[in-house]
Structure 1
């Protein structure tokens, strides 16, 4: 006697025995009548299209210059830092943490822009500003960097009033 196998079991065993296909093999699939595949792609918005447009920038070959054409001069940068700190912090009479956070960003941005005007080619400029409240305590600030001691350098200045202290540092890191 022959045993009858239900068609549903045959279909299941046929599916399980086949190798699963990849999503990227849509062209190789045998599409049966009555079945369909749906795919979706979102068109970029107008703001995104501006990012993908060719800007017309010129690509330049490496110069392999090992020495900077103009050195980072600490003596020119320190007065900029000190005058910017005095300009923004001289009229503060109380320490308000909500105001100081934005003020330190503003000072760092202004110092960075003024130092960029000195035109130190091939130097990356990093400006860090620390502002704290004076409450009869000691504060020690330190930094550690991995850099080339012959070409990279920094300039720093500090400001102190009866209610707060501030320290700003500009690092000039040479790009080879």
Structure 2
């Protein structure tokens, strides 16, 4: 059996209409123009983060939600969530295409102590931005910040 080897033959491939000339070279096809890209790397001027409009939404929403209220520890988390959701919804209605909107609201009681807050984020300063505002009355201090990061 070792003497009997099976040899498989490759089928003959015939190219029909390959466009080869008698010399065996194919003709050069003219270069096609490059199509414009189908993705946006940067927002156009009118599509950038609308910082002034977002700031107005923050101020309006916080004053609507907190005016006339006194600080209550059991209600503060609900108020913060309500403000964040309302701001996010109103900012999304501005229809800033391809922007991811992040909203953070902090409510603390005014007792005369100071507060410091630091936030860090890696972003593109040409496309990404934020808007923030602070609301105060005699018993409540509320800080809301909205980040707009462009999704490439």
Q: TM-score, normalised by structure 2?
A: 0.72
Q: Does 1:82 align with 2:59?
A: yes
Q: Deviations over 1:67-124 (max 9, x none)?
A: 114000111110110010011111112x211111011001000000000111100000
Equivalent residue in structure 1 for 2:138, among 162, 166, 170 = 162
Query: Deviation above 6 Å: which 4+ runs of structure 1?
Result: none
Q: TM-score, normalised by structure 1?
A: 0.63
Q: Which residue of 1 aligns with 2:98?
A: 122
Q: Does 1:92 align with 2:69?
A: yes
Range 154-163 or range 67-76, more displaced: 67-76
Once the 2 structures are TM-superposed, how far is the Cα of residue 169 of structure 1 from its aligned partner? 0.4
Q: Which residue of 2 aligns with 1:66?
A: 41
How many equivalent pairs are there? 114
Once the 2 structures are TM-superposed, how far is the Cα of residue 138 of structure 1 from its aligned partner? 0.5
Q: Distance in 2 between matches of 1:141 and 1:84?
A: 22
Once the 2 structures are TM-superposed, how far is the Cα of residue 64 of structure 1 from its aligned partner? 2.5
Q: Which residue of 1 aligns with 2:125?
A: 149
Q: Distance in 2 between matches of 1:104 and 1:64?
A: 36
Q: Which residue of 2 aligns with 1:52?
A: none
Q: Which residue of 2 aligns with 1:103?
A: 79
Normalized per residue, which structure has more helix? 1
Q: Give me the CA root mean square deviation.
A: 1.2
Unmatched runs of 5 consecutive residues or more in structure 2:
1-36
